[in-house]
Amino acid sequence: MRGRQILILLALLLAVALEWGLLIYIISRPVGEVRPETPLVSARFIAPTEGVMLFQGQKVTVEVETPLLELTGAELWVNGHRALPLPQSMARFSNRWVVTFLWEPSTPASYTLETTLKTSQGDVLRTSPLTVEVVPPLYLCFASDLAGNYDIYRMRADGALLEELIASPAEERKPTQAPDGSIAFAKGDEIWVKSRDGLKFLAKGQEPSFDPNGHYLAFRSNVGLAQELFLLDVGKGITQQLTSDYSFAGQASWSPDGERIAFAALKDGNWDVYIIQRDGSGLIRLTDPPALDWYPAWSPDGRKIAFVSSREGSHQLYLVNPDGSGLERLTQIPGGVEGPVFSPDGRLIAFTAYTGEGRGFSAREIHLLSLGTRRVWRVTHDNFDETDLAWCSP
Range of the domain at 291: 137-169+244-392
User: What DSSP assignment string belongs to 122-187?
Assistant: S-EEEPPPEEEEEE---EEEEEE-TTSS-EEEEEETTS-S-EEEE--SS-EEEEEE-TTS-EEEEE
Q: Are 153 and 250 part of one and the same domain?
A: yes
The model carries a pTM of 0.83
364 domain-assigned:
yes
**Mean pLDDT value across residues 336-345:** 97
pLDDT at position 120: 87
286 domain-assigned:
yes
Three-state SS string over 29-74 comes to: CCCCCCCCCCCCCCCEEEECCCCCEEECCCCEEEEEEEECCCEEEE
Q: Are 54 and 125 part of one and the same domain?
A: yes
User: From CA 107, how far away is CA 134, in angstroms rounded?
Assistant: 7
* Interval 126-162: pLDDT, tens: 899 999 999 889 999 999 999 999 999 999 999 999 9
Q: Are 253 and 323 part of one and the same domain?
A: yes
pLDDT at position 12: 54
60 domain-assigned:
yes
Band of residue 29 on the pLDDT scale cut at 50, 70, 90: very low
Ramachandran assignment for 381, one of left (phi > 0), alpha (psi -120 to 50 degrees), beta (any other): beta
Q: Are 51 and 97 part of one and the same domain?
A: yes
Q: Are 254 and 348 part of one and the same domain?
A: yes
Q: Which residues pair with 348 in a beta bridge?
A: 370
Contact 284, 275 (CB under 8 A): yes
Q: Are 130 and 259 part of one and the same domain?
A: no
**How many CA atoms lie within 13 Å of 169's alpha carbon, on the beta-carbon side?**
0
Q: Are 48 and 126 part of one and the same domain?
A: yes
Residue 119 main-chain phi, psi, to 5 deg:
-105, 165
Q: Which residue has the higher pLDDT, 318 or 358?
A: 318
Residues of the chain above pLDDT 90, percent: 76
* Interval 13-27: pLDDT, tens: 545 444 444 333 333
* Interval 156-205: pLDDT, tens: 999 999 999 999 999 999 999 999 999 999 999 999 999 999 999 999 99
User: From CA 213, how far away is CA 28, in angstroms rounded?
Assistant: 78
Band of residue 322 on the pLDDT scale cut at 50, 70, 90: very high
User: From CA 321, how far away is CA 386, in angstroms rounded?
Assistant: 28
53 Cβ partners below 8 Å, 6+ apart?
Answer: 132, 133, 134, 135, 157, 158, 368, 370, 377
55 domain-assigned:
yes
- Give me the number of domains the chain comprises: 2
Task: For residue 107, give the CATH number of its domain.
Answer: 2.60.40.10
147 domain-assigned:
yes
| Cis check: omega of the bond before 290, within 30 degrees of 0 | yes
Q: Are 251 and 114 part of one and the same domain?
A: no
367 domain-assigned:
yes
Task: For residue 302, give the CATH number of its domain.
Answer: 2.120.10.30
377 domain-assigned:
yes
pLDDT at position 394: 87
CA-derived radius of gyration, the chain: 32
Residue type, position 76, single letter: L
Band of residue 302 on the pLDDT scale cut at 50, 70, 90: very high
174 domain-assigned:
no
